């Protein structure tokens, strides 16, 4: 297989990691600061000097339970931490959390029978492993899996291993929870014994958290029985020690005020830029594609010249967000930390196997603003844990009730879309919750996640400028005292407003610190990295393509059409290019209207745009209706092996398009609907049908 840049970076980092391992103590500090420099913060080398031998690591740290995670957006990692924490506090297990990419697996055949392995595995995209689980998945699923002791699968090499497994998936995807299902199958086949059922959480149904909570109680019962454990009264033990350094000035050069790693702290950002090391990119241009009463849509041009960041059409760009000042203030106020917001704190892990999720020393303000996902939905388990730190008995009882009663919790918290600080504020009437340890907030809330955007420009046309097309999130729920404001998209909106002359942009009073730590993002900059995807145009431009992308789902298709128009202009033979786009109204949110005309000039009759307006006429028209209207033409193109692409809403649209296509094919080819579905499946398997959905 061809190596892309990311592979090369990963391989280089792994090689460095190996070198580092064999030279440990000579050139590297064994448990160095993972944020020490950008290279050390990238894959593999981040853990320079740490053994990749999980059994050795468990032995060395006296652990009898390892919780492995395969995580893309941080949720699986969070669940893994929660299981580790609970295993220790409730059942006395000596637990550790392990990133799957940090270890080798060839010695799992020596996994001791008095220890426990836990697997928390998210399924990504089309049934794929998360980036950090690729190697593990390939190893464990291999036909001739090679363990250190040799032997074949029939010898049951994992006969001594006990494990539990939970998967995070989305039922709107075809390969629902395939990671946990397959890994469970492989482990069983290799002779390992599962305790309890393999759990499955469903993000598509919005029940992930409840699925997790419902799965874990019987799982713990099976574990306690099998391992002869006894439940004890859970006492909270912090993972992190927070030391306030009142003698250190927040402006001192060694204090991280939001800089993601040491290079950034020292003021000279250095590549390679990746998921651990963002490039602070200038925003070359920003506009609003439309501004309606309750929605607006941004178009931005991010300049990556000189960064060595490269993309190909169809890739994703990740934007590293900053929390809004409004929510940072709320959070610090309700914890009673507002007056100490600029106090310097050193955060140290109390367990060598737990990572501090951000660089230290820092300040409360910087940790909350740049590193903790304070706006996210609140988990029921977290509310239970906080109960013991309530300011009075009444609130303690209320939180315990919320933790124990699913329906009550939904009514009071989830259905109102409250974040943690909004909830605590309402619950106590604004009285601060001063007893909640800051460590608990670091452990219980997610690390802030970069948000992905399907790049809406062609790398052929603008190699160094990456376009983003994003709708600004603003969700009003009846019964909620707060309008939910998307973290990243409102941050981007503030940047756009600043670029257009507003020196203190403040959309909705959110008050973003858009100049970044120590003003390093001044002059309209945003931290980004690029993620390569498999969503790709056919390499031969003469092949016909069909694209379905309503709303911002059109983003990558703007890139596709832009690319094909450029190819046509350059005299290349470009095939039929059909786009189904949908929006509410012609004069409201019909984005890129003028550009389509331009592309049409270059592509002529080979470019056809079918638009569906859902609110313009008496009848709601969606892209699916338009597809049905042009069924004959679509079928003919599919017969000619046209590539078929869908982008946008995973929950409804993408699934409906899939079903509809199966039916259209069945009718056209005069086969059963089941056969039609199978044809679509085969198209997916051969990459003729590609999805980029969220």
The yes or no reply on residue 488 touching ligand FAD (CB under 6 A) is: yes
Contact with ligand FAD (CB under 6 A) among 70, 87, 272, 321:
321
Contact with ligand FAD (CB under 6 A) among 324, 360, 467, 469:
469
The yes or no reply on residue 316 touching ligand FAD (CB under 6 A) is: yes
Residue 561 · residue 337 · CB < 8 Å: no
Min separation Cβ 316 and ligand FAD, Å: 5
Min separation Cβ 569 and ligand FAD, Å: 25
CA distance 102 to 478: 45
Min separation Cβ 13 and ligand FAD, Å: 24
Residues in binding contact with ligand FAD, number by CB under 6 A: 25
The two tokens of residue 630 are 């042009």
Binding mask 422-451 for ligand FAD (x = CB under 6 A): -----------------------------x
The yes or no reply on residue 507 touching ligand FAD (CB under 6 A) is: no
CA distance 314 to 312: 6
| Of residues 192 and 472, the one with the C-beta less far from ligand FAD | 472
Min separation Cβ 327 and ligand FAD, Å: 10
| Of residues 50 and 529, the one with the C-beta less far from ligand FAD | 529
CA distance 244 to 331: 18
Which stretch, 2-10, 196-204, 210-218, 480-488, contacts ligand FAD (CB under 6 A)? 480-488
| Of residues 34 and 278, the one with the C-beta less far from ligand FAD | 278
The yes or no reply on residue 473 touching ligand FAD (CB under 6 A) is: yes
* Burial environment of residue 6 by CB neighbours within 10 A (0 to 12, 13 to 18, 19 or more): middle
**Alpha-helical segments (H) within 259-336:** 262-265, 325-334
Is 220 part of the annotated catalytic residue set? no
Q: Which of 138, 104, 97, 134 is nearest to 118 (CA)?
A: 97
Is 692 part of the annotated catalytic residue set? yes
Residue 541 · residue 460 · CB < 8 Å: no
Residue whose structure tokens are 């740049």: 370
Q: What are phi and psi of 666, to 5 degrees?
A: -60, -45
Contacts of 651 (CB under 8 A, 6+ apart): 172, 204
Contacts of 683 (CB under 8 A, 6+ apart): 644, 689
Which of 178, 467, 647, 649 does the annotation list as catalytic? 647
The yes or no reply on residue 123 touching ligand FAD (CB under 6 A) is: no
How many Å separate Cα 476 from the centre of its chain?
Answer: 24
* Cis amide bond preceding 177, omega within 30: no
The yes or no reply on residue 417 touching ligand FAD (CB under 6 A) is: yes
Contacts of 142 (CB under 8 A, 6+ apart): none
Which stretch, 42-50, 269-277, 370-378, 676-684, contacts ligand FAD (CB under 6 A)? 370-378
Min separation Cβ 4 and ligand FAD, Å: 17
Which stretch, 284-292, 392-400, 487-495, 537-545, contacts ligand FAD (CB under 6 A)? 487-495
| Of residues 66 and 300, the one with the C-beta less far from ligand FAD | 300
| Of residues 198 and 470, the one with the C-beta less far from ligand FAD | 470
With CB atoms as reference, the residue minimizing the distance to ligand FAD is 486
Min separation Cβ 304 and ligand FAD, Å: 17
Contact with ligand FAD (CB under 6 A) among 74, 201, 486, 582:
486
Angle at 414 between CA 409 and CA 420, to 5 degrees: 90
Q: Taking CB under 6 A as the criterion, which residues in 611-640 touch ligand FAD?
A: none
The yes or no reply on residue 377 touching ligand FAD (CB under 6 A) is: yes
Residue whose structure tokens are 């390969």: 175
Full DSSP string of 27-93: TB-TT--TTSSTTTTSTTGGGTTS-SBHHHHHHHTT-SEEEEEE-SSSHHHHHHHHHHHHHHHHH--
Is 596 part of the annotated catalytic residue set? no
The two tokens of residue 152 are 């074949």
Residue whose structure tokens are 């893994």: 80
Contact with ligand FAD (CB under 6 A) among 453, 581, 607, 643:
453
How many Å separate Cα 173 from the centre of its chain?
Answer: 16
| Of residues 37 and 533, the one with the C-beta less far from ligand FAD | 533
Is 694 part of the annotated catalytic residue set? yes
Which of 454, 456, 457, 533 does the annotation list as catalytic? 454
| Of residues 15 and 205, the one with the C-beta less far from ligand FAD | 205
Which stretch, 59-67, 108-116, 414-422, 435-443, contacts ligand FAD (CB under 6 A)? 414-422
Q: What are phi and psi of 344, to 5 degrees?
A: -80, 135
Q: Taking CB under 6 A as the criterion, which residues in 529-588 touch ligand FAD?
A: 552, 555
Q: What are phi and psi of 318, to 5 degrees?
A: -105, 130
Which stretch, 168-176, 287-295, 463-471, 620-628, contacts ligand FAD (CB under 6 A)? 463-471
Contact with ligand FAD (CB under 6 A) among 236, 389, 630, 694:
694
Residue whose structure tokens are 């140290």: 348
The yes or no reply on residue 374 touching ligand FAD (CB under 6 A) is: no
Residue whose structure tokens are 């999720």: 357
CA distance 570 to 460: 12
Partners of 530 in beta bridges: 317
Binding mask 12-31 for ligand FAD (x = CB under 6 A): --------------------
Residue 76 · residue 121 · CB < 8 Å: yes
Element (H, E) at 661: helix 653-669
| Of residues 418 and 680, the one with the C-beta less far from ligand FAD | 418
Q: Taking CB under 6 A as the criterion, which residues in 130-189 touch ligand FAD?
A: none
Contact with ligand FAD (CB under 6 A) among 20, 118, 161, 484:
484
| Of residues 483 and 682, the one with the C-beta less far from ligand FAD | 483
Q: Please give the C-alpha separations between residue 458 and each of 314, 350, 471, 552, in angstroms, as whole numbers.
A: 8, 48, 20, 16
Q: Which of 360, 332, 112 is nearest to 258 (CA)?
A: 360
How many Å separate Cα 426 from the centre of its chain?
Answer: 29
Partners of 194 in beta bridges: 163
The yes or no reply on residue 210 touching ligand FAD (CB under 6 A) is: no
Min separation Cβ 424 and ligand FAD, Å: 13
| Of residues 102 and 563, the one with the C-beta less far from ligand FAD | 563
The yes or no reply on residue 470 touching ligand FAD (CB under 6 A) is: yes
Hey, which residues are catalytic here?
Answer: 454, 647, 692, 694
Q: Which residues bind ligand FAD (CB under 6 A)?
A: 316, 321, 375-377, 417-419, 451-454, 469-471, 473, 475, 484, 486-489, 552, 555, 694
């Amino acid at each position: 297989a061809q190596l892309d840049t990311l592979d090369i970076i990963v391989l280089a980092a792994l090689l460095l990691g190996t070198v580092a391992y064999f030279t440990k103590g000579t050139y590297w500090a064994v448990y160095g600061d993972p944020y020490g420099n950008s290279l050390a913060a990238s894959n593999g080398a981040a853990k320079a000097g740490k053994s990749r031998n999980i059994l050795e690591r468990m032995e060395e740290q006296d652990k009898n339970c390892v919780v492995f995670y395969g995580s893309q957006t941080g949720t699986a990692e969070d669940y893994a931490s929660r299981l580790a924490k609970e295993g220790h506090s409730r059942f006395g297990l000596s637990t550790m959390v392990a990133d799957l990419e940090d270890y080798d697996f060839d010695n799992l055949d020596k996994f001791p029978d008095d220890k426990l392995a836990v697997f928390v595995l998210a399924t990504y995209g089309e049934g794929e492993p998360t980036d950090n689980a690729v190697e593990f998945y390939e190893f464990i699923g291999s036909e001739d899996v090679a363990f250190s002791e040799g032997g074949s699968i029939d010898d049951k090499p994992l006969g001594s291993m006990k494990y539990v497994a939970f998967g995070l998936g989305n039922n709107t995807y075809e390969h629902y929870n395939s990671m946990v299902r397959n890994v469970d199958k492989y482990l069983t086949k290799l002779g390992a014994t599962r305790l309890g059922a393999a759990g499955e959480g469903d993000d598509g149904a919005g029940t992930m958290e409840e699925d997790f909570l419902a799965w874990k109680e019987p799982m713990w019962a099976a574990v306690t029985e099998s391992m002869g454990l006894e439940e004890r009264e859970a006492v909270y033990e912090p993972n992190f020690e927070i030391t306030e350094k009142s003698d250190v000035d927040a402006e001192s050069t060694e204090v991280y005020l939001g800089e993601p790693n040491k290079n950034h702290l020292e003021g000279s950002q250095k590549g390679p830029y990746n998921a651990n090391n963002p490039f602070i990119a200038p925003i070359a241009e920003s506009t609003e594609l439309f501004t309606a009463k309750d929605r607006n849509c941004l178009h931005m041009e991010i300049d990556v010249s000189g960064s060595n960041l490269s993309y190909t059409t169809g890739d994703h760009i990740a934007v590293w967000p900053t929390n809004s000042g409004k929510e940072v203030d709320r959070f610090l106020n309700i914890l009673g930390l507002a007056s100490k917001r600029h106090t310097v704190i050193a955060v140290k892990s109390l367990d060598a196997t737990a990572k501090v999720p951000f660089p230290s020393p820092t300040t409360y303000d910087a940790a909350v603003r740049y590193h903790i996902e304070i706006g996210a939905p609140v988990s029921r388990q977290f509310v239970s844990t906080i109960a013991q730190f309530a300011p009075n008995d009444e609130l303690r009882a209320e939180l315990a009730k919320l933790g124990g009663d699913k329906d009550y919790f939904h009514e009071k918290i989830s259905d109102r879309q409250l974040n943690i600080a909004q909830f605590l504020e309402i619950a106590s009437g604004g009285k601060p919750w001063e007893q909640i340890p800051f460590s608990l907030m670091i452990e219980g809330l997610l690390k802030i996640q970069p948000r992905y955007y399907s790049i809406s420009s062609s790398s052929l046309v603008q190699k160094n400028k990456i376009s983003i097309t994003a709708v600004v999130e603003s969700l009003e729920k009846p019964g909620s005292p707060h309008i939910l404001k998307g973290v990243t998209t409102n941050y981007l909106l503030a940047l756009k407003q600043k670029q257009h002359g507003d020196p203190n942009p403040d959309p909705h009073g959110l008050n973003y610190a858009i100049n970044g730590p120590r003003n390093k993002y001044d002059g309209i900059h945003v931290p980004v990295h690029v993620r390569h995807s498999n969503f790709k145009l056919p390499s031969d431009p003469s092949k016909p393509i069909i694209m379905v992308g309503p709303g911002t789902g059109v983003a990558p298709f703007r890139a596709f059409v832009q690319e094909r128009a450029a190819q046509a202009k350059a005299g290349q033979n470009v095939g039929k290019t059909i786009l189904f786009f949908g929006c509410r109204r012609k004069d409201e949110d019909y984005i890129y209207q003028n550009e389509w005309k331009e592309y049409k000039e270059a592509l002529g009759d080979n470019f056809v745009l079918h638009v569906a307006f859902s609110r313009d006429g008496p009848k709601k028209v969606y892209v699916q209706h338009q597809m049905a209207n042009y069924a004959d033409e679509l079928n003919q193109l599919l017969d000619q092996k046209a590539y078929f692409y869908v982008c946008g809403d995973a929950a409804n649209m993408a699934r409906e398009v899939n079903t509809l296509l199966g039916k259209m094919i069945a009718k056209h080819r005069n086969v059963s609907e089941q056969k039609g579905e199978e044809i679509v499946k085969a198209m997916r398997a051969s990459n003729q049908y590609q999805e980029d959905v969220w």
